[in-house]
Amino acid sequence: MSKMWKKYLLWFAQEHVEFRVSEIESLLSLLRIHMKYQEKPRDLQPYWVVEFSSEDDAKLLASRSVSLRTCLELWGHEPSLEKLHNTLHAKAEMLASYFPPNKSFKIEVETFCRHFTLQEKVEKIETFSYLPLQGEVNLKSPDIRLYYIEYYGTKALEPPELPYDVFFGRWVADGLRQLSKKLSLKTRKFIGNTSMDPQLSLLMANQAQIHDGDIVLDPFVGSGSLLVAAAQFGAYVFGSDIDYLMLHGRTKPSRIRQKKRENDESICANMQQYNLGHKYLDVLVNDFAMVFWKDSLEFDAVITDPPYGIREATERIGTEKEDCVVSDEHLATHVPAKIEYGIPSIYRDLLVFSAKHLRIGGRLVCWFPVFREDYTERCLPQHPCLKLVANSEQPLSKVTSRRLLTYEKIRQPSQSELEIRDISIQDFREKYFVLREETRKERRLREAAVRKENWEKYKENKK
């Protein structure tokens, strides 16, 4: 029997727009959902018109997507309200089956880049009086929710008089956006200076295709935001970090009004806060540059935000002293010295580790800092066993950004591929501090020129 494909409208939030396609395509692959595009998605456009063979598929996608606001079964999509009414008039008999007398309903009006008053919304709703609606109106908890949406483009300061597109359809499901509020850093027990935004953490977990029973590692775990997101989708989580004080909740508090950390602040406390304690395996104080895990251990995903050396140190255990030996007398209380762990070395170790310890088909999802003027895909870290399947940008400033990279393991590495010594990427930290110092010099020179100009004007006035 052939499948009955129907049109649906996917309406997205206007946050992290760059990540939509990567997240949705990862979820379609993970959940084995077939979806057809009616038209190619545009970057800033907040909607996609698509087709699913089953409403259950639409609901399943919405149940995992953080980017998606809502999904509608699309009954009409036209360039004007008049044409939309003509389309709906022609479908009136067919739509009658959706509205039995015992089902209450509600029609909601939404606009994009245009504001309607309540009266204007009511007037729009009244134009749909010809629809075969038999039940009662229920504004609080209707059985059927209908949406009329007007799209005025993406230039909020210069909206056109008339909408570019209008839509009408039946609500099917909302996305998972409320989960970002539940995991808000404002109410989280334990956070640090670089704790990942909950929405980005969940996007990373989706791009890693995490599902129930997976074992996930964050080797630069910090305060554990990515572990919370992974556990939320059913994974058992491990973390490691070289920062002993952070993992034991002994660093300076990140909240402005908090003078000292509470005794029970920890990643484990975060997991328990969200009833995810049963998904928490452990976090370990570990130098990622040193071999630590058994060769046979496999992870389903590695998700991480490596340090860039800007707001957090890039360090590994080591010393520049020659023939350094710790005596047995001092060994018990010895704290190992640390040296610089450059960004090229961090990403070399991360890719080699993932090639070795991910299962076939497992994913590495990580952030990578770049200078926007220098960026090409050739400058990204590469490994022959890992295929780059997604690459999205988050701008940080006019000159810098970071890319969210998603790799998939396609085969097992050879011994030589585990011994790669160098990955030809730029050390972001070195150029960053050079540019920042240049900017400071320019500012000082500009301020000095202003002071000189003011002084000359003062002398002229005195004369």
pLDDT at residue 443, as a whole number: 65
CATH number, domain of 219, equals 3.40.50.150
Answer whether 380's CB lies under 8 Å from 350's CB: no
pLDDT at residue 313, as a whole number: 77
Answer whether 62's CB lies under 8 Å from 71's CB: yes
**Cα 262 to Cα 161, 180, 248, 280, 285, distances in angstroms:** 56, 24, 11, 21, 20
Calculate what percentage of the chain has a pLDDT beyond 70. 97
Residue 154 lies in a domain: yes
Residue 458 lies in a domain: no
Both 136 and 185 in one domain: the answer is no
Answer whether 209's CB lies under 8 Å from 408's CB: no
pLDDT at residue 170, as a whole number: 96
Confidence grade of residue 1 (pLDDT, cut at 50, 70, 90): very low
> What is the per-residue pLDDT across 55-88, written as a single tens digit (0 to 9) for each?
999 999 999 999 999 999 999 999 999 999 999 9
Residue 438 reports pLDDT greater than 70: no
Confidence grade of residue 124 (pLDDT, cut at 50, 70, 90): very high
Residue 418 lies in a domain: yes
Residue 421 lies in a domain: yes
Residue 392 reports pLDDT greater than 70: yes
Q: What is the mean pLDDT of the chain?
A: 91
Confidence grade of residue 463 (pLDDT, cut at 50, 70, 90): low
Range of the domain at 35: 6-176
Both 265 and 149 in one domain: the answer is no
pLDDT at residue 348, as a whole number: 94
The structural domain count of the chain equals: 2
Answer whether 210's CB lies under 8 Å from 237's CB: no
Q: What is the DSSP letter of 139?
A: S
Both 137 and 284 in one domain: the answer is no
Task: State the average pLDDT over residues 433-460.
Answer: 73
Answer whether 197's CB lies under 8 Å from 85's CB: no
Task: State the average pLDDT over residues 96-102.
Answer: 91
254 Cβ contact partners less than 8 Å away, ≥ 6 residues apart: 191, 192, 193, 195
Residue 440 reports pLDDT greater than 70: no
Residue 328 lies in a domain: no
Q: Given 150, 176, 202, which residue is the final one in a domain?
A: 176
Both 267 and 188 in one domain: the answer is yes
Q: Given 176, 206, 230, which residue is the final one in a domain?
A: 176
Upper half-sphere CA count for residue 101 (Cβ side, 13 Å) = 0
Both 238 and 162 in one domain: the answer is no
Amino acid at 40: K
Residue 397 lies in a domain: yes
456 Cβ contact partners less than 8 Å away, ≥ 6 residues apart: none
Both 154 and 192 in one domain: the answer is no
Q: Given 141, 176, 211, which residue is the final one in a domain?
A: 176
Confidence grade of residue 323 (pLDDT, cut at 50, 70, 90): confident
Amino acid at 144: I
Both 24 and 112 in one domain: the answer is yes
> What is the per-residue pLDDT across 177-217, written as a single tens digit (0 to 9) for each?
999 999 999 999 999 988 999 999 999 999 999 999 999 99
CATH number, domain of 41, equals 3.30.2130.30
Residue 37 lies in a domain: yes
Residue 78 lies in a domain: yes
Both 165 and 196 in one domain: the answer is no
Both 163 and 41 in one domain: the answer is yes
Both 304 and 406 in one domain: the answer is yes
d(CA 67, CA 177): 7
Both 132 and 279 in one domain: the answer is no
Both 187 and 171 in one domain: the answer is no
